[in-house]
Amino acid sequence: MEASKLATDFPLVVAQEVPFGFTHYNQGFPGTITLQLETFIDLVSDVALSIHRNGFERVVLLNGHGGNHHPLKSIAAKLAEHDLFALAFSHWDLVPELRTWSERDTSIGHAGEWETSIQLHLRPHLVDRSRQVVETWVPSVDPAFAAFAVFPERQRETAQGVMGDPTVASAEMGAKYVAKASERLVELARAYRRQDVRRYRHAPSESPAT
């Protein structure tokens, strides 16, 4: 919604968010609701295709949950088969400065420095700082291979579900992050709109009958 307020020179329509995702590894923590991977892919694909059938030629799938990051890439590939020109990415992809702005965490983490900062900015009434804990996790076999050889998350990866350090979070950091992410999203959408819509190129033998 923040981004749509900044897009004053072209229409940027924000659809209803999908409230559920792929988060099997958080089962055991109170309140966790997860979808099967195949269900998540089908759900988001159906929503995107419905939007497309309503006349929207360019669709952005903006993600905010780590477990959905890679499945959304697969969804974008699936949508291409239906001739839908879609982009899929996570909000932290828009803010590479996160690594240099951080006091402790070098990634978005989970309930760590950055997610807590974002919530302190957007929904401070939901943050109980008396319950903060610092937890770390090992995502790969060795730091030398962490750029590409990363394990999928498993159930209760950390004892409290935290990946990072929420104790250094602040509403000011969250505001800075949200402002930059919103700005970049509008820039991306503007560039996307300038491009011609890409169509599925059929081989001569596949061309629809006329």
What is the 3-class SS of 17-34, one letter each residue? CCCCECCHHHCCCCCCCE
The confidence score (pLDDT) of residue 128 equals 97
The confidence score (pLDDT) of residue 208 equals 59
Structure token digits, residue 198:
């890409």
The confidence score (pLDDT) of residue 27 equals 86
pTM here?
Answer: 0.89
Fold (CATH) for 2-206: Rossmann fold (3.40.50)
CA distance 131 to 114: 16
The confidence score (pLDDT) of residue 200 equals 78
Kindly report the backbone phi and psi dihedral angles of residue 110, in degrees, each rounded to the nearest multiple of 5, phi listed first. Answer: -145, 115
Is pLDDT of 210 > 70? no
186 sits in the region (left: phi over 0; alpha: psi -120 to 50; else beta) called: alpha
More confident residue, 106 or 115: 115
Sequence-ordered list of residues with C-beta below 8 angstroms from that of 103, at least 6 positions apart, any chain: 113, 165, 168
At CA 20, angle to CA 97 and CA 99, rounded to 5? 10
Strands of 31-107, DSSP E: 58-63, 85-90
Q: Lowest-confidence range among 91-95, 119-123, 198-202?
A: 198-202
Rounded to a whole number of angstroms, the CA Rg of the chain reads: 19
Number of other CB atoms surrounding residue 85 within 10 Å: 19
pLDDT in tens, 33-79: 999 999 999 999 999 999 999 999 999 999 999 999 999 999 999 99
Number of other CB atoms surrounding residue 46 within 10 Å: 10
At CA 69, angle to CA 190 and CA 6, rounded to 5? 25
pLDDT in tens, 117-157: 999 999 999 999 999 999 988 777 888 888 888 888 776 67
CA distance 197 to 162: 41
Q: Lowest-confidence range among 5-9, 157-161, 200-204?
A: 200-204
